[in-house]
Each structure stands twice: as structure tokens, then as C-alpha cells.
């Protein structure tokens, strides 16, 4: 399955290429946070495929009744599990806390507490489909992988725990713009999971689950 994955920066070239049919064949869009919601709304309108997103640390707190606090026509995947195009998806938004009282920022302990909301859905997946998860979508990178030691860009340890336990085939994240600009490796592995930094966008082929 071909997926378009976007994060952190609205790319003018997307506006140019999309009406020209450059992304024909895309079956799903996954957004890893810190993007203008009108950008996501444009993408879902043109491609007319499911678009799942998680909020980044610069996004407002999610409020479905407030137009400026959600992306219309898109599905907020934060702390949710779902199945689409035969793929089992789950999401975790936000980043490590580096500013007091900011939306979508969490201490390591608070992030673990939030993640407990994913456990029932992942267990249901295991019972229904024989596996917990295929694609994990987050804003933050894992701790010690694709992150750095700055206060704003340290990864979340709970992501590592979910990857080791649920063993998704793919983990897609954003947040780390400098990593791509410095040409550091943007694909890593943790066990059986391929970890991809998608900033600012990339096309990926998601293999069907066995």
C-alpha cells in the first residue's frame, strides 16, 4: 500500500504536484504533527483518501468542536487504534515537556500514563488479527533513536516500550527537522520495526501484514 507521510513543514511543492496527479495511487495519508490544519485539509480534499494525524508540540490542544483546534475531514489518531486499508494503526501525539503548561508536551512519566489508553485497543487487535499493530504514528521520536539531548528534542521512552511490546512493522515520526537537514540517517530499526523520520514528507510502501 502506498502512503504519503507528512510532518512539521508545509511544503509548497505539495501544492504544485498534487493537482497534477503526482500522488495517484496513494491509499492513505499519515501526518506526524506540527502542520497547519488547512494544509492537511487541502491534502485530504485533493487526494480523497483517509488522512490520520497526531498533534505535535506546536499544535493546539485537540478540540473537535473548535474549527481552529482540529483538521476537518481528517482523523485524529492520538491515543487511538484503528484499522484502515488492512493496516492496524495507532497514534501518540506530542513531545517531551520543555515548557510549563504547554499543550501536547509531557514528562516521561506522564507520557507512560497517557499510553495506557492504547493498551486495550492493541490487545483487541491481537485477539482479532493475531498481531498488535502494523503502523505506529507519533510526533516524537523514540528515546535514544533519532533524538538529541536538547530539552525540546529528547525522545519519549514510552515509544520504545510500545515498539518492543507491540512490534509494529513501521514507526513514523516527525519533530526532528535538523536530522534530515544534516543528512544523518533517517531510517533506523528497533527489533523488527523500521523507524522513519518523515520530515517534511515522504512516500512509503507499506507491506501487507503476513
- Give the C-alpha separation, 118 to 163, whole Å: 12
- Domain around 157: 2-205
- Helix, strand, coil percentages in the chain from 3-state DSSP, rounded to 5: 30, 25, 45
Going by pLDDT thresholds of 50, 70 and 90, the confidence category of residue 63 is confident
Cell triple for 115: 499510553
Helix axes 108-115, 157-166, angle to 10 degrees: 30
Q: Is the pLDDT of residue 38 over 90?
A: yes
98 domain-assigned: yes
Q: Residue 210 domain-assigned? A: no
For the stretch 158-204, pLDDT in tens is 999 999 999 999 999 999 986 545 445 678 999 999 999 999 999 99
- Joined grid coordinates for residue 172: 513514523
Indicate whether 176 belongs to any domain.
yes
Q: What is the pLDDT of residues 131-147, one digit of tens each?
A: 999 999 999 999 999 99
- pLDDT computed for residue 179 by the predictor: 54
Cβ contact 10:35 at 8 Å: yes
Domain annotation covers residue 29: yes
Indicate the average pLDDT of the chain: 93
Domains of the chain: total: 1
Residue 184 is part of a domain; what is its CATH number?
Answer: 3.60.21.10
Amino acid at each position: 500500500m502506498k502512503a504519503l507521510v507528512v510532518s512539521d513543514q508545509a511544503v509548497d511543492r505539495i501544492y504544485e504536484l498534487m493537482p497534477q496527479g503526482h500522488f495517484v495511487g496513494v491509499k492513505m495519508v499519515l501526518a506526524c504533527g506540527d502542520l497547519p490544519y488547512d494544509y492537511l485539509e487541502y491534502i485530504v480534499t485533493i487526494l480523497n483518501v483517509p488522512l490520520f494525524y497526531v498533534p505535535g508540540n506546536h499544535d493546539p490542544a485537540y478540540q473537535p468542536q473548535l474549527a481552529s483546534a482540529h483538521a476537518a475531514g481528517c482523523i485524529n489518531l492520538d491515543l487511538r487504534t484503528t484499522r484502515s486499508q488492512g493496516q492496524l494503526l495507532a497514534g501518540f501525539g506530542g513531545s517531551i515537556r520543555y515548557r510549563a503548561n504547554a499543550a501536547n508536551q509531557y514528562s516521561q512519566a506522564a507520557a507512560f500514563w497517557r499510553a495506557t489508553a492504547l493498551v486495550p485497543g492493541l490487545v483487541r487487535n491481537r485477539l482479532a488479527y493475531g498481531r498488535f499493530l502494523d503502523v505506529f504514528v507519533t510526533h516524537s521520536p523514540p528515546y535514544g533513536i533519532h533524538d538529541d539531548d536538547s530539552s525540546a528534542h529528547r525522545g519519549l521512552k514510552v515509544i520504545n516500550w510500545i515498539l518492543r511490546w507491540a512490534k509494529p512493522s513501521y514507526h513514523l515520526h516527525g519533530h526532528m527537522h535538523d536530522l534530515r537537514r544534516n543528512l544523518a540517517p533517517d531510517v533506523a530499526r528497533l527489533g523488527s520495526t523500521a523507524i522513519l523520520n518523515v520530515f517534511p514528507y515522504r512516500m512509503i510502501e507499506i507491506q501487507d501484514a503476513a
